[in-house]
Structure 1
Amino acid sequence: MKYGYLLDMDGVIYRGSELIPGAKEFIKRLRETDTRFLFLTNNSQRTRRDVAMKLCRMGIEATDRDIFTCSMATARFVAQQKPGGSAYVIGEGGLFNALHLNGYSVVEDNPDYVIVGEGRTMTFEMIEKAVRLVANGARLIATNLDPNCPTEDGIRPGCGAIAAMIESATGKKAFSVGKPSPVMMRAARKQLGLTSEETIMVGDTMETDILGGVGLGYRTVLVMSGGTSREDLDDFAYSPDLVLDSVADILDHPMFKEPSTGKDRKYKQRVPAYTMAQAMVR
């Protein structure tokens, strides 16, 4: 069986602005063996093009075709639920861009949805308005429910913390589209053309990456290069299939050296280095 990979980013590929040792070589080997993969992120601030550029500047070859964000998953979800709809948005460029590309209008009054992402441009006036709109019937969506976001200076409130204020004030629960939601996890798998049995979710967080993979029947790999320690595993009723120090250890592990049946679908993931002219925006 030939596997494909869904790869969390922060804590798996890099920490802050530094690559995790072995990550560059891991991605290079995936490309050399024509192995399917996507980078998954619960950060809704950046567009997929911005994320690809960050990876390239860190030394990892990437285009926006390699990126799948919770903003993309959210925009596609609401566009399927209510095509051509409208939303009041608390968030930044990545979320606005994804909504516009999927035919959604960003409005100040009478929206179909209130959509919450993370960012540093939020004001309390925006929260007040969101509360009033949800109380008046707008449906509440969160790009993810992560309570905090890691930064080089420590943690800051994440999308889940912002959504919690609106939930508490209105009594309405936000529907979340990002990891571990099957909405995002299944969409990413389908984009790669993989079955559940062929999919490996690699992450550093039990509550999002591993939970999402376990829930959909993917193989799961927890790496110790992020925010989880081996001692933390006893706190959870579910377990990853494999615990490794980092992505550098994955391809040489016996679990991923099963012989091919000769029936594997051919798929060419190899792409040229990222250029603005070649990038796809959707």
Structure 2
Amino acid sequence: MRYKGYLVDLDGTIYLGNQPIAAGKRFVEHLQEKEIPFLFVTNNTTKSPEVVQKRLADEFDIHVEKERVYTASLATIDYMKDDAKGNKVYVIGEAGLIDLILTAGFIWDEKNPDYVVVGLDSQVNYEKLTIATLAIQKGAKFIGTNSDKNLPTERGLVPGAGALISLLETATQTQPTYVGKPEVVIMEKALDRIGLSKNEVLMVGDNYETDICSGINNGIDTLLVLSGFTPKKAVDSLPIAPTYVIDCLDEWDFDQ
């Protein structure tokens, strides 16, 4: 089956932390040469699409338009606009999340926000967590940008946004609404952006829990590449098998 478009993860799939994955670069270049539509769908909220675009170019020699990048930050904004609970927000996160939310018209409020949004924050501290806890207890809607427990880096698997969100879930006894992979919101919005239907695209990623389950949960075929989070030894015990599993993106046949 020839897929008309590809939804592609970044970290662990196209690169690994600060390390390039040569097959990832070749994969993107092949998509460009064949003029196959693709969209990077990433749970990384620390960087804006413009920063991701620049990083791909500067660090990995991969050159794409910023419109090719759809982050969990953008999906979170789309979700809050659809939800329309209000426009006051408190955010635990980095510039790629906070700046985009404020630019989209939301107003910072630490005491009585309508939403508490939590993403990855490498500078998180007890006071930030306290402000978020108190706001959620007062009734703010608790949004988790993504449930990633870990991030694959050159150092190994480090804590992800899901680890911080779990702490707040324990402190507030409140379950968050998750937006990023593998949830419906980010996948539906990604399909809108690429302009294709579920049966026309392939979801490509290294993390079974997020990338592959985002496809499985939403009726999209999946390609698990064993270059990042999910190890080869885990494949046989996965609850639902990916549509395809490969060791390296060089193995993928675009004409199948």
Assess same fold via TM > 0.5: yes
Q: Which of 135, 138, 141 pairs up with 2:140?
A: 138
Number of the residue aligned with 1:116: 118
Percent of residue pairs bearing the same amino acid type: 37
Number of the residue aligned with 1:149: 151
Shift of 1:245: 1.6
**Runs (5+) with no aligned partner, structure 1:** 259-282
Aligned residues of 1:79 and 1:102 also touching (Cα < 8 A) = no
What CA deviation, in whole Å up to 9, does each residue of 1:24-50 have, x standing for no partner?
222112112110101121111111111
TM-score (norm 1): 0.86
Shift of 1:69: 0.5
Q: Which structure would you say has the larger RCO, counting Cα contacts within 8 Å and 6 or more residues apart?
A: 1
**Runs (5+) with no aligned partner, structure 2:** none
Number of the residue aligned with 1:170: 172
Shift of 1:2: 4.4
1:88-107 to structure 2, matched below 5 A, reads 88-107=90-109
Q: Segments of 4+ in structure 1 off by > 3 A?
A: none
Larger Rg: 1
Count residues with an aligned counterpart.
Answer: 254
Number of the residue aligned with 1:265: none
What CA deviation, in whole Å up to 9, does each residue of 1:34-90 have, x standing for no partner?
101011211111111111111111111112111010111011111221176111111
Please state if 1:26 is matched with 2:24.
Answer: no
Shift of 1:20: 1.1
Distance 1:151 1:33 in 2: 30
Number of the residue aligned with 1:56: 57
Shift of 1:18: 2.2
Name the SS of the counterpart of 1:22 in structure 2: helix
Shift of 1:209: 0.6
Q: Which of 183, 199, 202 pairs up with 2:201?
A: 199
1:47-86 to structure 2, matched below 5 A, reads 47-57=48-58, 58-82=60-84, 85-86=87-88
TM-score (norm 2): 0.94
Aligned residues of 2:16 and 2:153 also touching (Cα < 8 A) = no
Distance 2:173 2:133 in 1: 10
Q: How much is the aligned-residue C-alpha RMSD, in angstroms? A: 1.5
Shift of 1:235: 2.8
What CA deviation, in whole Å up to 9, does each residue of 1:250-275 have, x standing for no partner?
2xx2xx425xxxxxxxxxxxxxxxxx
Aligned residues of 1:51 and 1:67 also touching (Cα < 8 A) = yes
